[in-house]
Amino acid sequence: MSERLYKLPMLLLKLSKKAIFSLSMKVILLSLTLLSLTSLSAKKYSYGVDEATTSTVTKESFHQHFFGVLALYQEAFLKSGETVVPMPEWDNPYLTAYTARVEGIIKLGFWGGMARIPGMNDDAVALITCHEVGHILGGYPYLTLAHEMYHGISSEGQADYFATRECLKKYFRIEEETPTYLDREFPKTWRELCQKGPSSSLEEAICLRSLNAIDGFKSVVLLLKEDQGSFTMGFSSLPGASETLFNSYPKNQCRMQTLLAGLFDQERPACWFVN
């Protein structure tokens, strides 16, 4: 991998070291997992660098996809007036990805323990990074918590929706490896889903790769949100929400349907979003 993938964009060089170091003590995680690590089993909720799992993510691929996604949005970050500091920590064993606004900047982090969860794959690294970008650029609905740290941060459901509707498609479209997904072995149901909408072989490949990302992400959801029900690939009938979920995660199957709705350019599911 080229050295440039590991360098922060030039706009980040304006950030003082003092501001960066102060973040470590003040970050409130708006993440795929808001974990209280002191109350959870360290063994189950951490995966060290040398711990063998079924995850296919390597240190190189972790940084490649993390920085690859963020590179697509540097101009958008600048136009939004936000200073976004990428903070990947491959060696960190704990299971977190997060976006947090502190002292006028946004810190976007991803810890290696999450990438090493059994069942994780490289495409899911891109999806999780896209989710975090969605907290910054996803738009309405936003978190409504009073603290300034949450100002302008899109809700969890909206971050999921942005991830597959906008970000993953944009990223996978420019990835040289994407067309090879047409020749890979996938469940028949995936191909049936992807052949309904896309109008070209590239669109079908992007769709299959996105489903593979969602499948890898399933391992994260079922580990960290096991009390929130199943996370099964496909659409199903779910009860509608009485009001939009601004400040909490949708239940697992509702998140699945949000990811699929984004992928297939459908409306946000009523299980979390109310017009």
> With 70 as the cut, is the pLDDT of residue 6 above it?
no
Alpha-carbon span 78 to 71, nearest angstrom: 12
Q: How many residues does the chain have?
A: 275
> In sequence order, what are the beta bridge partners of 46?
94
267 secondary structure, DSSP code? P
Q: Is pLDDT larger for residue 40 or for residue 222?
A: 222
**219 touches 118 (CB < 8 A):** yes
Alpha-carbon span 170 to 248, nearest angstrom: 27
pTM of the model: 0.85
Alpha-carbon span 153 to 141, nearest angstrom: 9
> pLDDT (tens digit, 9 = 90+) per residue, 186-199?
999 999 999 886 67
**228 touches 249 (CB < 8 A):** yes
Q: How confident is the model at residue 49 (pLDDT cuts 50, 70, 90)?
A: very high
> With 70 as the cut, is the pLDDT of residue 14 above it?
no
- As a whole number, the mean pLDDT across the chain is 87
| DSSP string for 216-248 | HHHHHHHHH-GGG----SS----PPPSS--SSS
pLDDT at residue number 8: 41
| DSSP string for 36-71 | -GGGS-TTTTB--TT---S----HHHHHHHHHHHHH
> In sequence order, what are the beta bridge partners of 154?
142
**155 touches 247 (CB < 8 A):** yes
> In sequence order, what are the beta bridge partners of 85?
107
> With 70 as the cut, is the pLDDT of residue 266 above it?
yes
pLDDT at residue number 244: 98
pLDDT at residue number 30: 39
166 secondary structure, DSSP code? I
> With 80 as the cut, is the pLDDT of residue 64 above it?
yes
- Residue 116 gets the label, from left (phi > 0), alpha (psi -120 to 50) or beta, of alpha
Q: How confident is the model at residue 150 (pLDDT cuts 50, 70, 90)?
A: confident
The gap from C-alpha 87 to its chain's centroid, in whole angstroms, comes to 14
> pLDDT (tens digit, 9 = 90+) per residue, 248-264?
999 999 999 999 999 99
> With 50 as the cut, is the pLDDT of residue 27 above it?
no
> pLDDT (tens digit, 9 = 90+) per residue, 179-229?
999 999 999 999 999 988 667 999 999 999 999 999 999 999 999 998 898
> What percent of the chain is predicted at pLDDT more than 90?
75
> What percent of the chain is predicted at pLDDT more than 70?
84
Of 96, 116, 117, give the one whose Cα is nearest residue 108: 96
Ordered by start, the domain boundaries in the chain are 3-263
